Amino acid sequence: MTTSSSDSPAATVITVAMAQPFTDQKPGTSGLRKSSRQFQTPHYLESFVEASLRVVPGVQGGTLVVGGDGRYGNLAAIQTIARMAAAHGVARLITTTGGILSTPAASHLIRTHQAVGGIILSASHNPGGLEGDFGVKINGANGGPAPESITDAIYQATLSLDSYRTLQADPLPLDQPARLQMGAMAVEVIDGVSDYAALMQKLFDFDRLAALLKGDFRVAFDAMHAVTGPYATSIFEQLLGAPSGTVRHGLPLEDFGGGHPDPNLTYAHDLAALMLEGEAYDFGAACDGDGDRNMILGRHCFVNPSDSLAVLTANATLAPGYAQGLAGVARSMPTSAAADVVAKSLGLPCFETPTGWKFFGNLLDAGRITLCGEESFGTGSNHIREKDGLWAVLFWLQILAVRGCSVADVMADHWRRYGRHYYSRHDYEAIESEAAHGLYGRVKGMLPALVGERFAGRAIATADDFAYTDPVDGSVTQGQGLRLLLDDGSRMVLRLSGTGTQGATLRVYLESYVPPSGALAQDPQVALADLINAIDALAEIKLRTGMAQPTVIT
Ligand code: VG1
Ligand code: CO
């Protein structure tokens, strides 16, 4: 390593040379997600940040937002990024006390401060700590995940990187709000919660919600020792007056208390047991590591995320922020078509995008949609450009407050009106990479010959690898998941995860529609059993992965 310095008016910018180029960034991904130990490799974080600061338009003289979900490495990374931002001529850096900033709150700050973008430190729902994962996400000026044009340019920049620029400066004190200076760069340390809470107050009727939460309606919110703790405590317990203890595991911890901050029935099992087996609570919810995902539960009732998007669409006008109605709605391809049925009945445009929030960004920016969602516990709207966990929780509470009924009632009523999309996702995590790609490649090769074949007693109408043409800019994205669509509207999708860090994760998405006149109260695993068996036989999942069952069933 060699260093050379050049004088700048306020502090010394140094250029650090690197012996090896950086090869870990995958093209087409808007961040870098790896093990915490990997991030400790010398120059690792710096390499990705250097490439990003070189590529994001307007960095020199612009405003940048930085913060993260509080996991191990968060504070150190903020200091590193601040020094590098100063060396790259960023005029103003906005960060938060304790470095705590949820992904949706970051999106909001980028937008309200006209920042050129943001750097969010999180590996989202992956476990944290020294033995867990760390990540860096780059967001653009609209507050959403950087688009492919930028992420591809970052990838290109990493390939020829031989040095990075940083500043020699003391660490920033982040323990309280302050206006600071680092070299020529102004630094604002703000309370990361209040702007976000104010935004929620504009969208939802807080008087009505307070009346609900101060009454005998009991809420259990599980922050999973991740970033939403301070947000949820401020909103539920302070602003809305819910009893203290409503927020569980509310203190952000560097290792999330050893848990896996993924709000699903497997990893949020305590909350699931409380709601599905107990009688004490009317409403339960949890969010993930960086606060963009949500799980909604009622007493003895789990709301699958695809249904949640459909319910929010059908009831949107009950919330003040959406009282004027919706421009349209979008869902990711593997998400069930429950929202499509509602959109059709409301006469709303409905879009089907590839997995990942960045695809919703263009539709939101163009005003073509108001709500969007993914089956992976992600729901959001045009209020920001990320999915938003607490927003979804508040939206549900708003609906329950206005309608004065239970979660189970809302769901039963919804299915009676629109029919039910039985839905499940089976994840096979951390399988050997070769086995996963072998399985996937084999099914992909079989697709053309499958059209017209019989499958689980039905005929295969479409078998393809999903490709998306963006209706706003015409860009085409290919290879987004293998689809088998049956002639009765049932669907199966196979995808390989892009967010796992160990081996490969195969996701199998299963869906079958029952009209309002049909059997609406079955267990989804029972309703989908024939599809589950048939896709296993076709794709040889158990055989090729060596796993008797999925690691996670949603
Ligand atoms: C998963 C989900 C996807 C989501 C992505 C990021 O991706 O399936 O719907 O957009 O995580 O969510 P994959 O490639 O592992 O299936 V988050 O909470 O990390 O912003
Ligand atoms: Co997340």
Tell me the DSSP string of 448-513: HHHTT-EETTEEEEEEEE--EE-TTT--EE----EEEEETTS-EEEEEE-SS--SSEEEEEEEEEE
Q: What are the tens digits of pLDDT across the range 263-275?
A: 988 899 999 999 9
477: tokens are: 């994205």
Q: What are the tens digits of pLDDT across the range 271-302?
A: 999 999 999 999 999 999 999 999 999 999 99
The alpha carbon of 456 and the centre of ligand 1 are apart by a number of angstroms equal to: 29
490: tokens are: 């049932």
Q: Does any ligand 1 atom lie closer than 6 A to the CB of residue 104?
A: no
> What pLDDT shows up at residue 2?
35
From 228, 360, 376, the mutation candidate for ligand 1 (largest count of ligand atoms within 8 A of CB) is 376
295 touches 286 (CB < 8 A): yes
218: confidence class by pLDDT, cuts 50, 70, 90: very high
User: Looking at the CA of 144, which ligand is closest?
Assistant: 1
**Average pLDDT of span 374-399:** 97
> pLDDT averaged over the chain?
93
pLDDT higher than 80, residue 6 = no
pLDDT higher than 80, residue 23 = no
* Cα separation, 153 vs 210, whole angstroms: 47
Q: Does any ligand 1 atom lie closer than 6 A to the CB of residue 137?
A: no
522: confidence class by pLDDT, cuts 50, 70, 90: confident
> What pLDDT shows up at residue 8?
43
> What pLDDT shows up at residue 81?
98
> What pLDDT shows up at residue 521?
77
Q: Does any ligand 1 atom lie closer than 6 A to the CB of residue 125?
A: yes
**Average pLDDT of span 190-209:** 96
* CA 242 to mean position of chain CA atoms: 27
The alpha carbon of 412 and the centre of ligand 1 are apart by a number of angstroms equal to: 28
222 touches 286 (CB < 8 A): yes
pLDDT higher than 90, residue 439 = yes
117: confidence class by pLDDT, cuts 50, 70, 90: very high
pLDDT higher than 60, residue 246 = yes
The alpha carbon of 292 and the centre of ligand 2 are apart by a number of angstroms equal to: 5
Q: What are the tens digits of pLDDT across the range 40-95?
A: 988 999 999 999 999 999 999 999 999 999 999 999 999 999 999 999 999 999 99
> What pLDDT shows up at residue 5?
42
pLDDT higher than 70, residue 344 = yes
CA torsion sign for 172, 176, 181, 186 is positive
237: tokens are: 């317990």
> What pLDDT shows up at residue 7?
41
Among 422, 447, 427, 451, residue whose Cα is nearest residue 512 = 422
486 touches 473 (CB < 8 A): no
Q: How far is CA 548 from CA 177, 436, 536, in A?
A: 52, 15, 11
pLDDT higher than 80, residue 317 = yes
pLDDT higher than 90, residue 503 = no
Measured by CA distance, the residue closest to atom 10 of ligand 1 is 356
* CA 239 to mean position of chain CA atoms: 25
40 touches 46 (CB < 8 A): no
15: tokens are: 């250029």
pLDDT higher than 60, residue 442 = yes
Measured by CA distance, the residue closest to atom 17 of ligand 1 is 124
Among 440, 473, 368, residue whose Cα is nearest residue 148 = 473
Q: Which atom of ligand 1 is nearest to the CA of 293?
A: 18
Measured by CA distance, the residue closest to atom 1 of ligand 1 is 499
**Average pLDDT of span 295-311:** 96
The structure's pTM equals 0.92
10: confidence class by pLDDT, cuts 50, 70, 90: low
| Residues carrying an active site annotation | 124
pLDDT higher than 70, residue 488 = yes
* Cα separation, 293 vs 262, whole angstroms: 8
3-state secondary structure 309-378: HHHHHHHHHHCHHHCCCCCCEEEECCCCCHHHHHHHHHCCCEEEECCCCHHHHHHHHCCCCCEEEECCCE
Residue with tokens 């290919």: 478
pLDDT higher than 50, residue 312 = yes
The alpha carbon of 32 and the centre of ligand 1 are apart by a number of angstroms equal to: 13
From 391, 499, 501, 506, the mutation candidate for ligand 1 (largest count of ligand atoms within 8 A of CB) is 499
134: confidence class by pLDDT, cuts 50, 70, 90: very high
